[in-house]
Structure 1
């Protein structure tokens, strides 16, 4: 086997650092490397990926755009696909779709780009196109775990439980097996549900999706089933405040709202939202002062939450993720609108920071507030209903709760918009 050149050895060092998630060091060495070997497209690409993983999205975009425009570095489908993925992180969906299409044009069987295009189509409610993308991946690789999961999930949202189960049971990616448990409940297979839940529990599978399913069964069917995520979620709702003196000024709040209204990123298709709009991507990744300051404030609030419930024996607190990211988005709702009941299956701890609320004059007692329940809106209920708790919220309130807990907004009438910044603590595996 021929000895590696100095260039190849140094490049492999950067690869190793990236794989070890030492992104700061990968960036440091990658910057030096690309100055010396300026035509090494793979190194530039890895440098862009390192910036992306480190959260410097603006610099990652600059590098991938440089690669695509470069006259001295051969074009590659990978560069376009990586640029598309980076655009998607900050909600620039239209640009992301263009990148994925270009990548597929250059490399028609590029599975990552085809799958990413399907996910982008989902963000814009192009469901048939999304399904075709995932099916195309499965024709290329019938056991592709991610596309089995995404196609199964698509059927889930359409409440086609049997078709969803067919794909989800074959996948071990993400929450596939937990979603399969969801299918068993919705198909009315109670015995199979309980048996499969026991299997997941033995494997220490713990997440908000399973937590919400088990809470629904506990409360509506009065089954004595231990909820390893949280069996007392209503008593783990916390309301605090983020004041100007905490570091997030009214000026920054207005800049965040203006960013949302300017549609600098594409609005996300959201079937649960009525007479409102939701941002796409992760707003915490924006290179904007309001994103940096708000992230700092919310991180402090998350630690306050953990401190408040430090003596709790609930699973989501005892098994707090070793590493996590904050994922944030903005939701604005106009008069007569609301957000239907749902929970955050990929979160851990969820919350909303309230920027604007309809004034109290002429409001019903609960108008515009947030309501919580153990009842999954799409799950069979047997004609029963769960307790419902409405929490009163005002501008600058922050409300946090276990991600398994179903929640919705109460419709309201008024001239002002209801504007909130929602976020999840999301585990990083």
Structure 2
């Protein structure tokens, strides 16, 4: 190397040491103009640009230095470092692997490998959480399980996959992933909390409480865990302790509508109805309006009840929860129901058959039963009416398959016919019927001892059932569907309710208002009842 070259290069180095950045940059560039193969000048200029917080400009100089001298360890380290800073983590990993082919010991202490692993892991976690936040739960599970073993073993990834299973109602599968997360990192409170929540949904209350306490030992004021703890206590009818816990969270946390709703729910169970009304009012969450009306009825405050009902009928005249409650209470009082959604829901039950739309209907039933046998079913899902039975999630009609498409077409035609049949009605249920038919459906199977509690479909407008298997017993009503028997906390007031009982045949399609209470009579024989339930969603009225 010539003296002239040494002179420019030395000046550049001295300027860099003296933190005269612009001067050093200029001398390095002069060196490279005169001597393009000066690897140290190229590398040092890259370092200078990196220190100036413009890493993308440093990249070509590091690459050039490495091409000129691939045996220099520092050149490899600098190139990998800038790739990591630029977020090119996979490329940094590939470059580190390439260094081994040149026999260069770049990562003796393992620090670069660790940095790359952490960045790759952060990237995988971020992508999985983004999928979870978009409710792409199946994708979370697929992508998570495709990860290389070194990432899949991470406790956060195991926890996210577990949460995706739980979100799909696959609580037993969720348990497995939460336990793997805890095994990977025994001090991870989120996994203990989620594990406890899934156990609670599987009605394993004692173990759920034990694990919830562990989560709270690891993270003493953990709002999610405290809320789940309160939920478990509520499910075990320990309303007093649940209220104390929720009050403590509310005192220390930011205002949370759902938290206030839960506290109102507990006070309602404790028969402290005035407190319940106060917190329902504050929450403005979920079905708070119907809950307020129920509490006012329990308090015997008839004037306040009517004032509130009049207010709600103006502001929210098509609420299914309010409609069900108002209809029940006014029937008990032997008065006309003033709430306009569907004052006489028993008059809007319509029974048809698959044969009405599909003469050769039996193969469809067989195909549906065969395909459903391959689906994941949840035993006695929490917050559902099914007891002694199992059901799929609500995405049945999102699945692919000719038999699903045929059934959807049949149901849509029946719904159109249903609204046409009642088109002369003045109820908002018919007048404001949905402009398009958007379906949500799920399969339910019940065996001996199974039944469904009386319930409504609060998220629907019109609801329906397709019968795939029925209980053929002329001597009893087992497996039959009964409409009209409402169940509220004031059920002792429900003397004689108007009800309608139907003993279904295979292939029956029943349509009815979503606000109409219905239940399944318990199955006593060793037989199976299989149905597809569905809701037509409310949307823009006609």
Please, what TM-score do these two structures have when normalized by structure 1? 0.70
**1:405 equivalent in structure 2:** 516
Greater relative CO (CA pairs within 8 A, separation 6+): 1
CA contact (8 A) 2:480 2:520 kept: yes
1:418 paired residue among 517, 529, 540 = 529
Q: Report how far residue 419 of structure 1 moved.
A: 2.1
Aligned positions of 1:354-365 closer than 5 A: 354-360=467-473, 362-364=474-476
* Change in CA separation of 1:48 and 1:395 when aligned onto 2, cut-off 3 Å: same
**1:391 equivalent in structure 2:** 502
Q: Report how far residue 338 of structure 1 moved.
A: 3.2
1:236 paired residue among 345, 348, 352 = 348
How far apart are the structure 1 equivalents of 2:200 and 2:471? 31
Superimposed CA distance per residue, residues 202-243 of structure 1 (whole angstroms, 9 cap, x where no aligned partner): 322532110111101221102344122211211111212235
Q: Report how far residue 395 of structure 1 moved.
A: 0.7
Structure 1 stretches of 5 or more lacking a match?
Answer: 6-34
**2:443 equivalent in structure 1:** 330
How far apart are the structure 2 equivalents of 1:248 and 1:283? 22
Aligned positions of 1:205-216 closer than 5 A: 206-216=318-328
How far apart are the structure 1 equivalents of 2:410 and 2:272? 40
> Which of the two has higher C-alpha Rg?
2
Q: Report how far residue 264 of structure 1 moved.
A: 5.1
* Change in CA separation of 1:423 and 1:407 when aligned onto 2, cut-off 3 Å: same
Structure 2 stretches of 5 or more lacking a match?
Answer: 1-52, 57-89, 92-118, 210-226, 232-244
Once superposed, what is the RMSD of the aligned Cα atoms? 4.6
Secondary structure of residue in 2 paired with 1:170 = helix
How far apart are the structure 1 equivalents of 2:319 and 2:177? 33
CA contact (8 A) 2:485 2:498 kept: yes
* Change in CA separation of 1:398 and 1:419 when aligned onto 2, cut-off 3 Å: same
**2:295 equivalent in structure 1:** 183
* Change in CA separation of 1:230 and 1:383 when aligned onto 2, cut-off 3 Å: closer
* Change in CA separation of 1:43 and 1:109 when aligned onto 2, cut-off 3 Å: closer
* Change in CA separation of 1:338 and 1:267 when aligned onto 2, cut-off 3 Å: closer
How far apart are the structure 2 equivalents of 1:324 and 1:179? 29
Secondary structure of residue in 1 paired with 2:289 = helix
Secondary structure of residue in 1 paired with 2:373 = helix
How far apart are the structure 2 equivalents of 1:426 and 1:190? 33
* Change in CA separation of 1:201 and 1:427 when aligned onto 2, cut-off 3 Å: same
How far apart are the structure 2 equivalents of 1:294 and 1:159? 45
CA contact (8 A) 1:93 1:266 kept: no
**2:255 equivalent in structure 1:** 143
Aligned positions of 1:93-132 closer than 5 A: 93-96=171-174, 108=189, 120=198, 123-125=201-203, 131-132=228-229
1:92 and 2:175 are equivalent in the alignment: no
Secondary structure of residue in 1 paired with 2:282 = coil
